[in-house]
A and B are shown apart, each in its own frame.
Chain A
């Protein structure tokens, strides 16, 4: 059985009756790879991430997540697969603001996912630099701290793949850099797979592989160059 974390085959997503946000996208992300998906606003990069992660269903083509075909999977089974094998970091609205840091991180476990012991929780909070803040309501944290809570929540179940949608979009470069280094460390240390959508060349520079989208089609797939070359590539793609 093929355990490649993410495989898409002829993926398409249409909104309404005419507009194809995504067309004929095929790709495979092997384990331990950090992939950045880039493209102009409206190029379909968030749609691609949502379809790959099982947050949305494609109109055409197939998606395999952690070795399972999710294209026709029932909603409850798909949810459990997401909970156990995938982690999520969004640009904003990542956390339940009335719950504490610890409860937010434990959310997937409390929803029936893989169990997390107190030692594992403490170690994870230390790893993201939030040691000792477990009992604070997330409403009291800064933007960078909140995003680190989201990263901790995404990593704590040791998922096959972490999906990140503009994880640094609302952060300054220094704070954003911290969040990206956390994701990079998970790739290096645990062999985690990361699929990240971003429009920021500095953020994308942390990845191993760069995918470029234009008008819903995959127009580039390369090893990630440095930030200035990424900017040049983006300019050409746009």
Chain B
């Protein structure tokens, strides 16, 4: 097989494929759960329609996220790709090798996800029956044949994502790819700043202007408010993170050298880290809005809304948040893996492993706090006009226990993307990483 040697070389980067594989796993879980429940509740048209919508959203998010994570996975292999290109691998050969790797990765992720999805589907069906959303007689019926379309979707999205991601590295002139990545400087900072401000301003304006709309129309428009704000925040990310550090520096200085080092690191990495802010802020803000709409209604009117409606709303939110969390963890982990040598150098410069990890924990703290503050802002801008229109109050309400759970979940997601990979990477002596 002629693609063999290139594929063999890329296989050395197994870890790079954790990102796409985890995305595919989540996608398979969601698809398997929704489709199995759909088979099980055969004869409940309304629920069936909603489940189809869930599955379609899952496919859409899979295409998007597998593409993004595959891009990062292939970027990590840029130097090996450049060497292979220099000594004689044609662009086509690189593309074939990458496509084969991507297809191979999708299969185990799909099978594991399908099985986990059966478990999730079983639990979910129970709650749907409990809330009267599914017919009481609905029996959980696992359908082995579903594995085929799920694997098909994953293999195709994975391969297509990989091929798109490989276009640039495969075509790049080897001389440029072999040059040190550090010499490439980011550009368009002014354009980015302008676009970010425009989106945030647009989001706020839209939010204020829909405050007078009927509840249904306002609900639909609220999604656009949130999207505009989140993408805007993502574009402003580097500026926001650097401002956050400027504000928080005195506080971080309390943690001594560790805190100062963490602040400096986040400032340098602000551009890469802001890629993780978009999914993080989107997920937290989206969940906050969904929860607050229900809990504020209960809080103000003293009546509980229909539990079934809330449950469906929460189910959908959970799916979105799951994908967003996977995206955030992947982006953060890519940043940490890219810093492998820097972390090793810290070790060589005299930091113990504990100290290195403490720096990473501090960085994770900065990202978490910044993400939460931004998410609170985005959720607030979206919510306040909404609850004012519907309930006449200016203050959304979220139970403290839910708030605490949200903060902990966010911190856990950030830690999973930063502290966990850093802990794994620093297990071996630093000199092996540097040499």
Chain A positions within 8 Å of B, measured between CB atoms, are 47, 50, 55-57, 75-76, 79-80, 82-84, 88, 90, 93-99, 103, 107-108, 110-113, 153
In contact, A79 and B173 (Cβ under 8 angstroms): no
In contact, B2 and A112 (Cβ under 8 angstroms): yes
Closest 9 CB pairs of A and B: A83-B88, A56-B175, A50-B175, A98-B12, A55-B175, A110-B5, A111-B88, A76-B90, A79-B90
Closest A residue, CB atoms, query B432: A139
In contact, B12 and A82 (Cβ under 8 angstroms): no
Task: Name the distance in Å between A137's Cβ and chain B's nearest Cβ.
Answer: 10
Task: Name the distance in Å between B86's Cβ and chain A's nearest Cβ.
Answer: 5
- Chain B 139-180 interface 0/1 with A at a Cβ cutoff of 8 Å (1 = within): 000000000000000000000000000000001011110100
Given known A-B contacts A50-B175, A96-B80, A112-B2, A107 and B90 have beta carbons under 8 A apart: no
Which of B5, B79, B90 sits near A75, CB closer than 8 Å? B90
A-B residue pair count with CB separations less than 8 angstroms = 75
B93 at the interface (CB under 8 A from A): yes
Task: Name the distance in Å between A229's Cβ and chain B's nearest Cβ.
Answer: 31
Residues of A within 8 A of B47 (CB): none
Cα distance A93–B180 in the bound complex, in angstroms: 11
Task: Name the distance in Å between B174's Cβ and chain A's nearest Cβ.
Answer: 5
In contact, B91 and A93 (Cβ under 8 angstroms): no
Given known A-B contacts A93-B79, A96-B12, A96-B83, A76 and B91 have beta carbons under 8 A apart: yes
Task: Name the distance in Å between A59's Cβ and chain B's nearest Cβ.
Answer: 12
In contact, A76 and B178 (Cβ under 8 angstroms): no
In contact, B88 and A153 (Cβ under 8 angstroms): no
Given known A-B contacts A57-B173, A75-B171, A99 and B87 have beta carbons under 8 A apart: no
Task: Name the distance in Å between A226's Cβ and chain B's nearest Cβ.
Answer: 32
In contact, A88 and B175 (Cβ under 8 angstroms): no
In contact, A107 and B5 (Cβ under 8 angstroms): yes
Please, could you name 6 A-B residue pairs with CB atoms under 8 Å apart, sorted by A?
Answer: A50-B173, A76-B92, A80-B90, A111-B87, A111-B89, A112-B93
In contact, B86 and A99 (Cβ under 8 angstroms): no
Cα distance A103–B12 in the bound complex, in angstroms: 14
Cα distance A76–B8 in the bound complex, in angstroms: 21
Closest A residue, CB atoms, query B177: A55
Given known A-B contacts A55-B86, A55-B178, A111 and B5 have beta carbons under 8 A apart: yes
Residues of B within 8 A of A82 (CB): 86-88
Cα distance A174–B178 in the bound complex, in angstroms: 27
Task: Name the distance in Å between A6's Cβ and chain B's nearest Cβ.
Answer: 16
Given known A-B contacts A103-B5, A110-B5, A79 and B12 have beta carbons under 8 A apart: no
- Chain B 169-203 interface 0/1 with A at a Cβ cutoff of 8 Å (1 = within): 00101111010000000000000000000000000
Residues of A within 8 A of B85 (CB): 79
Residues of B within 8 A of A97 (CB): 12
Residues of B within 8 A of A88 (CB): 86-87
Residues of A within 8 A of B171 (CB): 75
Q: Which of B73-88 contact A (CB under 8 A)?
A: 79-80, 83-88
Cα distance A94–B87 in the bound complex, in angstroms: 10
Cα distance A97–B8 in the bound complex, in angstroms: 12
Closest B residue, CB atoms, query A50: B175
B123 at the interface (CB under 8 A from A): no
Closest B residue, CB atoms, query A84: B88
Closest B residue, CB atoms, query A154: B87
Residues of B within 8 A of A47 (CB): 175
Residues of B within 8 A of A95 (CB): 83
Residues of A within 8 A of B90 (CB): 75-76, 79-80, 112
Given known A-B contacts A107-B87, A108-B88, A111-B87, A90 and B8 have beta carbons under 8 A apart: no
In contact, A55 and B173 (Cβ under 8 angstroms): yes
Residues of B within 8 A of A103 (CB): 5, 8
In contact, B80 and A111 (Cβ under 8 angstroms): no
B318 at the interface (CB under 8 A from A): no
Task: Name the distance in Å between B2's Cβ and chain A's nearest Cβ.
Answer: 6
